Chain A
Amino acid sequence: MHELLWLIPVLPLLGAAINGLLGWRFPKGLVTAVAIGAPLASLLLALGCLWEYAHGGCPGGVCVQTLYAWTAGDLSIPIAFQLDALSAVMLFIVTFVGFLIHVYSIGYMGHEEGYRRYFSYLNLFMAAMLLLVLGNNFLVMFFGWEGVGLCSYLLIGFYSDQPFPPYAGKKAFIVNRIGDFAFLIGMFALFAKFGTLNFKPIFDAVAKNPGLVGGQYALGLSFAGFVALCFFVGAMGKSAQIPLYVWLPDAMAGPTPVSALIHAATMVTAGVYMIARTNVIYQLAPGVSQFVAVIGAVTAIFAASIGMAQNDIKKVLAYSTVSQLGYMFLAAGLGAYSAAIFHLGTHAFFKALLFLGSGSVIHAMGGEQDMQRMGGLGKHLPQTSKLFWIGCLAIAGIPPLAGFFSKDEILHAAAANGQWALYLVGLITAVMTSFYMFRAYYMTFAGRFRGTHEQEHHLHESPPVMTVPLWILAAGAVLAGFAGVPKLLSFGRDLNWFHRFLEPVIAHPHGLGTDEHGLSVGLEIFLVLLAIAAAFGGLFAARALYGRDAGIEKERAWTGRFPAVYRVLANKYYVDEIYDRLIVKPLAWISWLFWKGVDTFLIDTLIVNGGAAATELTGDVGRFTTTGNVRNYALYFFLGVILLFWWIAFR
């Protein structure tokens, strides 16, 4: 079956091409059939491949399919796909969640102008994302990496008749480019050292050559450290980590299913996938790994604190995504790569669920996203309300839902590595996560309705084409956690199936693992209880503030006691403003200088128009010699001959 691996990314690509290039006369039904058929076929193929993989269809745990070897000089890049444990997990998440979100989009985008364009982009995204996770070398991966960036840009700016979405799209693209640049540098460094970009030879060479750890390569880092840092900067851009996270909240300008698929479940996790993929290199770079963990933890708490003070339902979810990605990087930086991927998987389910649930709310509210205008929607949207509740429970880490297991594994990794400061940050973030999610829940679904009368009249539960995918995602959000039951709760057996599954991809050459570093059982139980307490603490705090009626007034009374803190949080720490002053404005000023000074003055005025003017001037003067009188020409000729002879005689 794995010889059909190449079809998995190619089918959505075909779907995008058919709808995008040929579909302008298609009836809507055919557009839908193509748009849904392609990811469905991919999903079925992927399930087939995974079935075979799980039953030992790939000797050594890795299947490679080479389509074509592209050679240029010393560089030989096979266009090849690879199925191993890590890409299998990603493959499942991307095709499964992706397909559900395609289905949901039929309902959500049904009344939109650019229905065909939307699905063409969405299929293209699927193709690029699958290329990213299936590629067996850095170049194919980078191709997918750039492809998802492009689709992200196209889909954020989907509502191109409004002023903000195209701007947000540009912002996302530009911020991502900063990271991509570092990614490229890392790839160049690897190629310069090993002469190949294929995963296996590079990782084998790195694992066998601990000499790469010592010494200085660049920036005062060892070779492994330098490459790891470059890749991490790339991941910062794609996966929205400090300081390159600023594009993700603005990316909410796109349609909500896009936010769910690209900016929550799949694309933004590409950075985590990349670090897990290159874990061999990271394990040789403990300093950079520590840096990754710290950045992840800081991002987690930073974004969570902003999320507590946002009133736009999608903004809350956006900051929540940044925060959860921070958790994943915290885990990856601690060496708990399988925990990072585990959280990636559970997060894909519950965050897609939450986003699509918010989409259902926004759909019912006729485009309204401000939670201050919502409230009491539980009566009108009973299914959405329940689904959102499940999503909140899952992300908050209430046992036994998925978020509990994955988040606990990350916190456990921090504790087991003795990184108590990071553990504490993670724990506080868990409280905040629970708080802002239930705040969003209560503000939206509890209390009484605060919107306009027309909005109230318009309220309706979403059609089944939207709610059924939500129920499936909700099932995932409830059950996915059982794939990785921690040792403590396994009753003496190893039930952490997920961890075992990923084991072959994640090497442990230097003992930077998650394995128990002597945490006593008592302490572990205490930590688990602490995590549960954190989740419930946030829940009850939110319930106390927003649970009954008049949630907004209570919040205002409460935040009124810390006006400065609230203002800073509500304004997102003024990061956008600071970037604007420190980076955007100076760059704009330099650009203005180049525009006016170099382009307008030097090139346009001096060189182009100046050249033309000089030619015209010489022509204006010189044309007086063209008298039309033959005798004058004869005289010039004669004088010229004299000059020539003069020159010959006296040179």
Chain B
Amino acid sequence: MTSVPISWYLLLAAALFVVGTLGALTRRNGISIFLSIEVMLNAANLTLVAYARQLDQRTGQLLVFFVIAVAAAEAAVGLALFIAVFRQRRTIDVNRLNLMRW
């Protein structure tokens, strides 16, 4: 059984990470930014899993569970925040959420 070389996984993870980063930096919709951050987290997860398999250790896989848990919590809190913001401001366009400035 020929296994997929690790570099492929890493390249895919890097691509995902870049896509996520660019998305997080460029999107204006709060939920889109959120999604982008999830993409970045999953890129990191992919790397961890890939290495866990490559090195035949369980630590990386274990860590991924934590990351998923954190991501879920983050999503819950983040979405709640956006709902609260939307109730106040009728928008979640982050360009218009700039009251905290000089």
Which chain A residues have a beta carbon within 8 Å of chain B's beta carbons?
A: 623-624, 626-631, 634-635, 638
Whether B101 and A628, one on each chain, are in contact in the complex, defined by CB atoms closer than 8 angstroms, is yes
Whether A634 and B25, one on each chain, are in contact in the complex, defined by CB atoms closer than 8 angstroms, is yes
CA distance A638 to B22 in the complex (A): 10
CA distance A623 to B102 in the complex (A): 6
Q: How many A-B residue pairs have CB under 8 A?
A: 33
Q: Chain A residues with Cβ under 8 A from B101's Cβ?
A: 626-629
Q: Chain A residues with Cβ under 8 A from B95's Cβ?
A: 629, 631
**A/B interface sample: 7 pairs, CB < 8 A:** A624-B102, A626-B101, A626-B102, A627-B98, A628-B100, A629-B98, A631-B25
Q: Chain B residues with Cβ under 8 A from A629's Cβ?
A: 94-95, 98, 101
Which chain B residues have a beta carbon within 8 Å of chain A's beta carbons?
A: 21, 24-26, 28, 33, 94-95, 97-102
Q: Chain A residues with Cβ under 8 A from B94's Cβ?
A: 629-631
CA distance A624 to B102 in the complex (A): 7
CA distance A629 to B97 in the complex (A): 7
- Find the B residue at minimum CB distance from A629: B98
CA distance A626 to B99 in the complex (A): 11
Q: State how many angstroms separate the Cβ of A638 from the closest Cβ of chain B.
A: 6
Residue among A624, A626, A627, A631 facing the most chain B CB atoms (10 A cut-off)? A631
The 8 Å CB contact of A630, one of B21, B26, B97, is: B97
Whether A635 and B100, one on each chain, are in contact in the complex, defined by CB atoms closer than 8 angstroms, is no
Q: Chain B residues with Cβ under 8 A from A630's Cβ?
A: 33, 94, 97-98
- Find the A residue at minimum CB distance from B100: A628
Q: Chain A residues with Cβ under 8 A from B24's Cβ?
A: 634
Sample of 19 further A-B pairs with CB below 8 A, known A623-B102, A631-B33: A626-B100, A626-B101, A628-B98, A628-B99, A628-B101, A629-B94, A629-B95, A629-B98, A629-B101, A630-B33, A630-B97, A631-B26, A631-B28, A631-B94, A634-B24, A634-B33, A635-B25, A638-B21, A638-B25
Q: State how many angstroms separate the Cβ of B93 from the closest Cβ of chain A.
A: 10
Q: Chain B residues with Cβ under 8 A from A626's Cβ?
A: 100-102
Q: Chain A residues with Cβ under 8 A from B26's Cβ?
A: 631
- Find the B residue at minimum CB distance from A635: B25
CA distance A630 to B82 in the complex (A): 13
Q: Which 5 A-B pairs have the closest CB atoms?
A: A628-B101, A628-B98, A623-B102, A630-B94, A628-B100
Q: State how many angstroms separate the Cβ of B26 from the closest Cβ of chain A.
A: 8
CA distance A631 to B34 in the complex (A): 12
- Find the B residue at minimum CB distance from A622: B102
Q: State how many angstroms separate the Cβ of B102 from the closest Cβ of chain A.
A: 4
Q: State how many angstroms separate the Cβ of A101 from the closest Cβ of chain B.
A: 73
Residue among A623, A624, A629, A635 facing the most chain B CB atoms (10 A cut-off)? A629
Q: State how many angstroms separate the Cβ of A604 from the closest Cβ of chain B.
A: 29
CA distance A628 to B101 in the complex (A): 4
CA distance A294 to B71 in the complex (A): 98
CA distance A365 to B101 in the complex (A): 79
Q: State how many angstroms separate the Cβ of A637 from the closest Cβ of chain B.
A: 10
Q: State how many angstroms separate the Cβ of A428 from the closest Cβ of chain B.
A: 86
Q: State how many angstroms separate the Cβ of A573 from the closest Cβ of chain B.
A: 71
CA distance A628 to B97 in the complex (A): 7
Q: Chain A residues with Cβ under 8 A from B100's Cβ?
A: 626, 628
- Find the A residue at minimum CB distance from B101: A628
